[in-house]
A and B are shown apart, each in its own frame.
Chain A
Amino acid sequence: MDTKTDTVSPPLTIKDFASDQEVRWCPGCGDYSVIKAVQKTLVEVGAKRENTVFVSGIGCSSRFPYYMDTYGFHGIHGRAPAIASGLLLANPDLDVWIITGDGDGLSIGGNHMLHVLRHNYNCVILLFNNGVYGLTKGQYSPTSERGQITPSSPMGVIDPPLEPIQFAIGAGAHFVARVVDIQQQQMIDVLKAAYEHKGAAMIEIFQNCTVFNDGMCDSFATKSTKFEHQIELVAGQPLIYGKARDKGFKCDPGSLSLKSYDIGGEDDDGHGAIVHDPANRSLAFMLAQMQMPEYPVATGVIYNAPEASYEREAMRQVEEAKASSDRKSVTDVLNQGFTWEV
């Protein structure tokens, strides 16, 4: 096929990215709004269907690739990042999206998640965090709250939840963000930024499971709660929130943590709120640590400090080795070193 035809073909629409498969998520599941945002993003960034690959593990959200008319690979539980690694080493020019969840990516696949972030393969990782195992009918997950009652924790969850953003930054991720399923515009903005980022970009998506963990985000992401309990991060903008934008954050030098203050109130030192710098790793940690109910939940791009991606570095080594070697083929290798004639 002549690639030039691409430039004259009409731009793709959301429909072009939807496959012919019937979507099988429960009615009202947060997954629907995520797929819509992703399809919209792909249209807006001008992605090509043939260059786009969705790789998933196991779980409700991991059905995602079937509903996209792109290339897709539905892997095994927790292993999508590993499959994506091999894919990118074979073809670094692909746009690779990893679809995973709190169980898939942080429990059975925790090791792969850690390393795909550390290796920094160029991919976008959508971590659908619904705080529960949906596909197997409601058991608690690594992000379930303490005390959560589920079929496998009838007296309540004993262990503390894992916080994905801190995990990711700790693993050495270079792009970490958080969004809420129902907040479409912020999700699309973040997806675009993740798409542009060259390297592993992890987005934690708070995704409502209507069946097993309904209302997980109600305390901070509904129309009535979000102003007081959520802070939307914008690079270069001060950390300000509240319906009247009357609260800000400053760094408390004593505890080395963020502290909320009323703007114009007695704690206001007049220096203004801290400005969000996504390249600041310490700030990113502080933002990730902010937990309800003491703090509002931070959403948006929390950390963004790009570095060379793994597959590009691997290619660079190959090119360097080629340039400095006399060997051109296996024959050269076999005939090198000690040989003798009989």
Chain B
Amino acid sequence: MPATQCFAQHGQGGVPDSAVVRFAGDSGDGIQLLGDQFSLTSAIAGNAISTFPDYPSEVRAPQGSTYGVSAFQIQFGGRNIKTIGDSADVLIAFNPAALKTNLEILKPGGLIIADQGTFSKRGLKKAGYETSPLTDGSLEGYRLLAIDITKQTLAATAPFDLSKKDKQRCKNFWGLGLIFWLFHQKRATTTAWLDRKFAKKPEIARANIAALNAGHAYGENIEASHELYSCHIPAAEMPPGKYRAVTGSQAAAWGLAAASELSGRPLVFSSYPITPATTILHHLARLKDLGVITFQAEDEIAAMCAAIGTAFAGSLGATASSGPGIALKTEAIGLAVAAELPVVIINSQRAGPSTGLPTKTEQSDLYQAVYGRNGDTPLPVLAARSPADCFDVTIEAVRIALKYMTPVMMLMDGYLGNASEPWLIPDMNKLPDISVKNCTDPEGFSPFKRDADTLARLWAIPGTPGLEHRIGGLERDYVTGDVSYDPGNHQKMSQIRIDKVKGIASDLPELEIDQGERDAELGVIGWGSTYGPISRAVSNMREKGASVAHVHLRYLYPFARNQCEITSGFGRILVPEMNMGQLVTVMRDNNCPPAEGFSKVTGRPFTVTELEEAIAARLGG
């Protein structure tokens, strides 16, 4: 049964297997903090979770304005949660603007908890309301719980020696206490966190805890008066082990650090701030104690060039950016291809073109990754499918870069970067050794001498006596590695660069069907962060008896060697993408069976419902 029903009828029907809560308020209300605390508590309670922070792009938007609204959505439950949920069961709105901008995400019949105290004339006007939605009947069709949270919080914090402003600031924890009550969640994790966070200001910790408890007690009282019922969301079955929450940016950063350890090469990460990739730089800058060096370069170009210099010196060179920044790096990426140096380039994609929508997600840089350079300039392209997957894909990108002496592009996106999920902490001892050897032998040395299998050229690093050599962006002689303008040589070198990258396919795992049969009526093929919603939609449709299969691509260039073959048995193929149909083109380019694109470029991830409808329409037709 849906969670919304559970709030209405005590003990009626079954237990909901998952619920979606959306916290929304002014940027200054501490919404992200609440989201983090609720996620942690749910995760510790054994729920599977998927979360997403949705904050404004303005750094300090005017208080109470609709564009200053910050939100956080979490789906938690007893089954394998793959998305943040299409729509919310509960919306807690700390001001009118938050209600206005988030109401459309609430399910019909869903629960609104609104801070009545903020629905003043002024607050309403700032949000663009003519009349108060709490009283004008416009919220009919939802369950409304209007509470003066501000007043309740002031009462709960009255005994503390704090300013009125400080007391009012505790109102987010009052709301969190109420939500904890609603889902039978424990408060201990949050109280412990508050004690730690405000160890130096214990009065603030105590006031927030009092507010948290008061919110919880308020819930117990309304339950006693049969206004609303709390409901229990069961724990999920998850593989046993030690877990933590991880965001995509964190996982990518740690993946680079892990790859540095697994390859035995020090990491120098060079990057220039850009939304949403910047957080990768932040996470790596905090790993100096592991020997990680970060360089905030003067611009995107410099960041890429520094990564190339690092690779030339024999260390692990990496950079991260987003679409417009990758565009600036493009010439230098070509240099890395020409010089055949291993560099990992992470693109945390956002909506384009140009500056586009910096804080909104998209996966529209696939063309840029696969095709976007001057000359015939191939490089491997991989994409992560979930926050935690960013860890594995980053390590895989480094493995390929080192083994094949090539720059590698790792695609993620703003959604993955910010979203978090519980993560079974990997055992580093079980991860593969990805080390490669430097050339040290001057006997018959040429910098472009290649490994017969991988076609990777020798890596000889400055400091090694007898291997002094010069490389760069000019075409090289196939044999000597000296600059060459010979026409036949350029043909040969162009070919070998393509053969080398295409040859990586033989080193990649075969593609497997994620769900469904090879001869399904409809095959749905996806890549990147659409994995969650596609996977859920296909599994829902299959439960209903639909003949549909799901194939997910990690390797976008080159494709897994059996990709075209494994997808050739489907009756038809649908490719949902958060772009205008880029994978469809790349598949056509690789002579894979024809496919139909299904685009969404609203800056928001696909909803499961949208995908179910799209699948149903193809099957019905």
Contact = CB atoms under 8 A, between A and B. Distances in A.
Interface stretch (A185-193, A221-229, A334-342): A334-342
Contacts of B160: none
Interface stretch (A47-55, A261-269, A295-303): A47-55
Contacts of B302: 79, 81-82, 85, 111-112, 115
B307 A86 contact: yes
Interface residues of A, number: 64
B487 to A, nearest CB: 19
Given A75-B305, A82-B297, A314-B293, A19 B470 contact: yes
Which of B295, B302, B311, B474: most chain A CB closer than 10 A? Answer: B302
B305 A79 contact: yes
A334 B189 CA distance: 20
A334 B209 CA distance: 29
Contacts of A69: 468
Interface string B277-308: 00000000001111111010111011111111
B109 interface: no
Nearest to B269: A89
Contacts of B571: none
A86 B308 contact: yes
B549 to A, nearest CB: 30
Given A82-B306, A87-B309, A93 B254 contact: no
A340 B472 contact: no
B437 interface: no
A62 to B, nearest CB: 9
Contacts of A76: 305, 331-332, 335, 473
Contact of B242 (A84, A93, A335): A335
B297 A85 contact: yes
A229 B16 CA distance: 90
Interface residues of B, number: 72
B240 A342 contact: yes
A86 B341 CA distance: 13
Interface stretch (A201-209, A251-259, A324-332): A324-332
B467 interface: yes
Contacts of A330: 254, 257-258, 261, 290, 428
B426 interface: yes
A26 B447 CA distance: 28
Nearest to B39: A338
B464 A329 contact: no
B94 interface: no
B298 A90 contact: no
Interface in A1-58: 1, 6, 19, 21, 48-51, 53-56
A73 interface: yes
Which of B43, B289, B304: most chain A CB closer than 10 A? Answer: B289
B2 interface: no
A286 interface: no
Nearest to A50: B465
B241 interface: yes
Contacts of A53: 462
A48 B464 CA distance: 10
Contacts of B310: 86-87, 89-90
B243 A314 contact: no
A54 B424 CA distance: 47
Given A50-B462, A76-B332, A85-B297, A339 B244 contact: yes
Nearest to B313: A90
A153 interface: no
B298 A115 contact: yes
Contacts of A72: 468-472
A83 interface: yes
Nearest to A337: B244
Contact of B295 (A54, A79, A89, A321): A89
Contacts of A101: none
B48 to A, nearest CB: 10
A237 to B, nearest CB: 37
A342 B46 contact: yes
B511 interface: no
B43 A340 contact: yes
A318 B288 contact: yes
Contacts of A82: 297-298, 301-306, 309
Nearest to A334: B425
Nearest to A114: B298
B315 interface: yes
Nearest to B45: A340
A71 B481 CA distance: 13
A206 B142 CA distance: 78
B463 interface: yes
Contacts of A329: 261, 290, 428
A70 interface: yes
Nearest to A58: B473
B488 interface: no
B482 interface: yes
A63 to B, nearest CB: 9
21 contacts: A49-B465, A51-B463, A54-B470, A71-B469, A72-B469, A73-B470, A73-B471, A76-B331, A82-B298, A85-B309, A86-B313, A89-B309, A90-B313, A90-B314, A91-B315, A111-B298, A314-B293, A335-B425, A338-B44, A338-B244, A342-B238
Interface of A: 1, 6, 19, 21, 48-51, 53-56, 65-66, 68-76, 79, 81-91, 93-94, 111-112, 114-115, 314-315, 317-318, 320-322, 324-325, 327-331, 333-335, 337-342
Given A86-B306, A317-B288, A324-B289, 16 more contacts: A50-B467, A71-B462, A73-B312, A73-B339, A73-B472, A75-B472, A79-B302, A81-B302, A84-B309, A86-B305, A90-B313, A91-B461, A337-B244, A338-B40, A339-B243, A341-B243
